[in-house]
């Protein structure tokens, strides 16, 4: 049988990483606590494989991300599908809307107090925007992988990330102005 004291040390070492992953994706502390608890229940079941493993942190983060995505798919409101939207070009032919998003956040936003403001603002974004943004910027997933995981179109993912970035810029703009950036 596994040693409970070792597992307790393991939980203490990784609980912040697991919780922060969950809260970024879910935007709700209570739901993030539930998911985090489930992650460690699964870790206990696999403790013989995880104890002493150099990849335990990655395993925990992957399980946390997958449980959050499952939770969101189970309990979320219906997502609007932007892939069904089309516009007409000059010739009157329908073509897909282009929702291109810049590849990175403005690095000036990620300093000092602004980082704290960013962390406080992300949970306030609409669920679909928050999830796409977190998967892209914090989980290092590409657009196609996010679309596959969420079961939405690539255009929807790009739109959500673009809109989330714009919302963050607007919310963080007063903070940037006040520090003289």
Report the percent of the chain where pLDDT is more than 90. Answer: 34
Mean pLDDT for 30-50 is 92
What Rg, from alpha-carbon coordinates, does the chain have?
19
Residue 176 predicted with pLDDT over 70: no
What pLDDT, on a 0 to 100 scale, did the predictor assign at position 92?
A: 57
- The domains of the chain are located at 4-75, 82-178
Helices (H) and strands (E) counted in the chain, each on its own, are 8, 2
Name the class of domain 82-178: mainly alpha
Residue 12 predicted with pLDDT over 90: yes
CATH number of 4-75: 1.10.1740.10
Residue 94 predicted with pLDDT over 70: no
Residue 85 predicted with pLDDT over 50: no
Q: d(Cα 27, Cα 38) in Å, to the nearest integer?
A: 17
β-partners of residue 86 are 96
* Structure-model confidence comparison of residues 94 and 24, the more confident one: 24
């Amino acid at each position: 049988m596994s040693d409970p004291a070792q597992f307790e040390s393991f939980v203490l070492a990784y609980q912040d990483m697991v919780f922060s992953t969950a809260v970024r994706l879910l935007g709700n502390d209570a739901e993030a606590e539930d998911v985090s608890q489930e992650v460690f229940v699964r870790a206990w079941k696999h403790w013989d494989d995880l104890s002493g493993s150099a990849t335990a942190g990655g395993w925990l983060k992957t399980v946390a991300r997958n449980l959050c995505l499952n939770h969101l798919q189970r309990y979320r409101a219906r997502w609007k599908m932007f892939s069904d939207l089309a516009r007409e070009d000059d010739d009157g032919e329908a073509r897909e809307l282009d929702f291109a998003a810049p590849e990175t956040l403005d690095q000036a936003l990620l300093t000092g107090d602004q980082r704290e403001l960013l962390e406080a603002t992300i949970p306030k974004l609409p669920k679909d925007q928050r999830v796409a943004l977190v998967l892209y910027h914090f989980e290092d997933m590409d657009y196609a992988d996010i679309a596959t995981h969420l079961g939405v179109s690539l255009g929807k993912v790009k739109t959500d990330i673009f809109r989330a970035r714009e919302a963050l810029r607007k919310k963080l703009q007063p903070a940037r102005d006040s520090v003289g950036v």
